[in-house]
Structure formats: structure tokens, C-alpha cells
Amino acid sequence: MPSNPQSKLVLASVLLTILLDMLGYGLVLPVLPALIKQMTGGNVAEAAVIGGWLVFAYSFMQFMFGPTLGGLSDRFGRRPIILIALAGLTLDYAIMGFAPVLVLLFIAHTIAGISGASVATATAFIADITPREKRAQRFGLIGAAIGLGFIIGPVVGGILGKFDVRLPFYAAAVLAGANLIFSFFVLPESLPKEMRRPFNIRRANPFGALMNLSSNPVVIWLLGTLGLFVLASQSFPSVWNYFTIEVLSFTSDQIGIALGAFGVGFAMSQALLIAPITKRIGEWATVLLGMGFAVIALAGTAFFHSELSLYAFLLIGSLAGLAGPAINSLMSRHVPDNAQGELQGAINATNSLAAILGPLLATQLFSAFTQAKSVYFPGAPFLAAAVLVVIAAALFVYVGRRFDLAHRPQVAKHKHTLELGQPGQQQMPPHDEQA
């Protein structure tokens, strides 16, 4: 008998898939600078630049292929796309662990970028099995799973890295392979065949996916706001490792413990705060609250360089995670159920486009202001990011007032979002209880 997609067991299984995915990512984060330095023989600033280009390769592939996988998940279901993504990650970590030269790191990250749709497709999976009025809370559980992965992964990766810089990559490959096996046997399909729709290559690309939503102004404006916020947020994963090595001479285990502390705060905010906060003040105000925490954390990190202050701002920054699920939930309300995969593909494309530009800008700023003879300011990427979050918040306020998002979210009724898998068949969006 197939699993009931509404059951708590199904929700737990997809969240465990995301947790294991992020656990593998967290394992390699503390040791990546050391691996790059080992391969190139350069200093921290030079390693940061190479690290930025590695993230660029990954994010560019996600930008190009994310909407394609989102469209395929609307056509063939979520389960096969998640399995493909996990297989790609297993191959990625294995290549990185055994890579003798830098070019193989770029090849591995390219493979991971092409197949790296597991979180986006899992988000569509959860949207499939969740009523609209509960999606912010469920998207918060995704954030909690990601945060828990950041609690365990970086700490374990940092400790393993003290024995061998490549050991965390081997562990991540084993973990991703175990995740693939687990998902193959446990994860069911969430999108019924009668709710699927034909695959359209003109829409299944980053530009087509975004253009296809162009007649939905609320979603387009919110995607723009999300893009600016994610662009600013890229400063943290892009340069934190290199920044702490430069200003505090952190070792891999110290980096892992710090990232683990961030994961604790992030997981707690996602699991315990999203639901009561959005219920009390609404999704619109929750986004602004999260952005406010981001500004404080980024600006503080830029100027205060003691170990205690960095931990304090890490924990404040973990509360910035309130913004993402709330924005995602607002957008999810404005498209019907059979277009959630396309929406998540467009969100993935937006995030990936920000992730293409963000690491390059952040690592270049870090390198320039770390090696400059006249002005030494390694916190420059974080200050620039704080300014960008302020701009994103101002844009979000404008969008909220224009479309009255704070009081009455609407469900879009555009022709392109009403398609089902059967020719000539249409379905009106389900009633939104809060509209």
C-alpha cells in the first residue's frame, strides 16, 4: 500500500532527506579553505577568490538547470528529481575527496550544481502535502532541518579536518549515498498523476520560468526582493571561513564549532519561532523582522572582531532566517497547487542568480580590502551586504503597500498557472482560507 502523502511520516522523511543533504554540505565547509591552500600553495585571500569561483560554478549550473528540474518535477513527480539530485551530490563529494588537482574541484561542483535541486524540489514536495495557510510553518521546518545540518555537519567536519583535510569529503560522500538509499526506499511521491502537467522547454529554463510568471506581478516583485536579500546573504557562506582565519586565526575545528552555534540558532528560530511569529504578526511583518536581524548581524560582524562578538552576531544572524520562509509562503499563496514546482524552480533560479554574483563580489571585496596597503578592512563584504539588505527591505515595504500584502494576500488567477497535466483541462486555484 503506498504511503499517505498527508501523514507525518512522509513529512518526517522529506525533512530527514533535507537534513542529511545539509549535513553533508556542512561537513566540508570548515576544510574547504585548507584544501584550496593545499592544492595551490597560496594565502587565505587567494584561496577566498578561488572559493568564490567554485561557488560561481555551482550556482551558475543551478541557475541554468534549476527551473528545468522544477518543470520536470511538475511533469514526472518530485521523487525522481530528488533521487537524481542526491546521486549527483554523492558523485560530487567523492570527486572532491579524491581530486589531485584544482580543475577536478570545479568539475565536481559543476555536477553538484546541475543536480542540486533537492531542497527546491523538497520544498515543492512539502507544498504539495500542506494546506496554504500552514505553508509558512512547514517551510520553517525546512529551515530547521537545514539549521540542524549546520549544527552537526561543520562541527564534525572541523574535527575530522584536523586529522586529514580530505576526510570530511569522504564522509560527506558516504552520507549522501546513504541519503540516496534512504530516499529510494522511504520517500513516496507527493504529486498525483492527475495533477501533473506537460513539460514545456520554453518555460523550463531560468528566463522562461521567470518570464512565465511575469503576468503575476506580486510574485515577480517578491522574487526581486528575495534576490536582493539572498545576494546580501551570500557574504556569510562565501567569506566567513576565510574571514575568521584572517582576523582570528581560526582552525578548522573552531570554524566548525562557530558554524554549529549558528546552526543551533537557525534551527531554533525555524522550528520554534516561525509559526508563532507569523501567526501573531503575519508573514509580511515577519519578513521585515528577519531583515532587521540581518542588518544588525552583518554590520556588527563588519566592525567588531573579537571571538565573543562574532558569536553574538552569528546568533543574531541566525534569526534572519525568519525572512526566507515567510517570503516563500507569500509567493506560494499566489500560484495554484499544480504550479508549485515551477514556482520553486523560479525561486531556485533567483537564488542561484544571486549566488552567482554574491560569492564573486564578496570574495573579491575580501581579497581587495585584506591585501590593500592603504585600507585594511576585511569586514568590507559584510558592510556592503548590510546596505543591500536595507535596500531589499525598502523594496519589500513598497511591494507590501502596493499589493496590500500585510492584510489580504490574494491567490493569482492567471491562465498560465491553471494548467493541469491533461490537455484542455483546467482547475481554478483552491480556496485560500485567509484570503
Place of cell 577536478: 104
In a domain, 423, yes or no: no
Beta bridge partners of 426: 419
Other CB atoms within 10 Å distance of the CB of residue 272: 12
Look at 149 and 322; give whichever has higher pLDDT: 322
Residue 327 clears pLDDT 60, i.e. is over it: yes
Residue 410 clears pLDDT 70, i.e. is over it: no
Q: At what angle do helices 252-268 and 135-163 cross, to 10 degrees?
A: 170
What's the CATH number where 35 sits?
A: 1.20.1250.20
In a domain, 192, yes or no: no
Other CB atoms within 10 Å distance of the CB of residue 182: 15
Q: What percent of the chain has pLDDT over 70?
A: 86
In a domain, 120, yes or no: yes
In a domain, 429, yes or no: no
Residue 303 clears pLDDT 90, i.e. is over it: yes
In a domain, 432, yes or no: no
Q: Torsion angle, CA of 78/79/83/86, rounded to 10 degrees? A: 60
Instruction: Tell me the three cell numbers of residue 103.
Output: 580543475
Q: What is the model's pLDDT at position 324?
A: 85
Place of cell 569529503: 169
Are 259 and 29 a contacting pair, CB within 8 Å?
Answer: yes
Q: What is the model's pTM? A: 0.67
CA 315 – CA 158 distance, rounded (Å): 19
* CA–CA–CA angle 382, 153, 379 (5° rounding): 10
SS3 340: helix
Residue 373 clears pLDDT 80, i.e. is over it: no
Are 36 and 161 a contacting pair, CB within 8 Å?
Answer: no
Residues 135-176 have pLDDT tens digits of: 777 877 887 787 777 778 788 888 888 888 888 888 888 888
Q: What is the model's pLDDT at position 413?
A: 44
Residue range of the domain that includes 107: 8-183+213-417
Q: What is the model's pLDDT at position 387?
A: 97
Are 162 and 31 a contacting pair, CB within 8 Å?
Answer: no
Are 334 and 132 a contacting pair, CB within 8 Å?
Answer: no
In a domain, 205, yes or no: no
Are 66 and 356 a contacting pair, CB within 8 Å?
Answer: no
Look at 262 and 6; give whichever has higher pLDDT: 262
SS3 419: strand
Residues 61-118 have pLDDT tens digits of: 877 777 777 778 888 888 888 888 888 888 888 888 888 888 888 888 788 777 765 6
Residue 242 clears pLDDT 90, i.e. is over it: no
Place of cell 513529512: 11
Beta bridge partners of 419: 426
CA 84 – CA 113 distance, rounded (Å): 12
The pLDDT mean for the chain works out to 79
- If phi > 0 it is left, if psi is from -120 to 50 it is alpha, else beta; for residue 422 that is beta
Beta bridge partners of 106: none
* CA–CA–CA angle 294, 299, 303 (5° rounding): 150
Beta bridge partners of 149: none
Residues 384-409 have pLDDT tens digits of: 999 999 999 999 999 888 888 776 54
Instruction: Tell me the three cell numbers of residue 304.
Output: 567588531
CA 416 – CA 245 distance, rounded (Å): 50
* CA–CA–CA angle 408, 273, 307 (5° rounding): 130
Using alpha carbons, select from 336, 299, 264 the residue that is nearest to residue 74: 336
Residue 419 clears pLDDT 50, i.e. is over it: no
Q: Torsion angle, CA of 13/19/22/24, rounded to 10 degrees? A: -90
In a domain, 65, yes or no: yes
Q: What is the model's pLDDT at position 289?
A: 96
In a domain, 190, yes or no: no
The DSSP 8-state label assigned to residue 373 in this structure reads S
Burial class (CB in 10 A: 0-12, 13-18, 19+), 179: buried
SS3 376: coil
CA 62 centroid distance within chain: 11
- Residue 127 identity (one-letter amino acid): A
CA 21 – CA 349 distance, rounded (Å): 19
Residue 286 clears pLDDT 90, i.e. is over it: yes
Look at 235 and 13; give whichever has higher pLDDT: 235
Beta bridge partners of 282: none
Number of domains in the chain: 1
CA 180 – CA 169 distance, rounded (Å): 16
Mean pLDDT of all residues in 331-354: 76
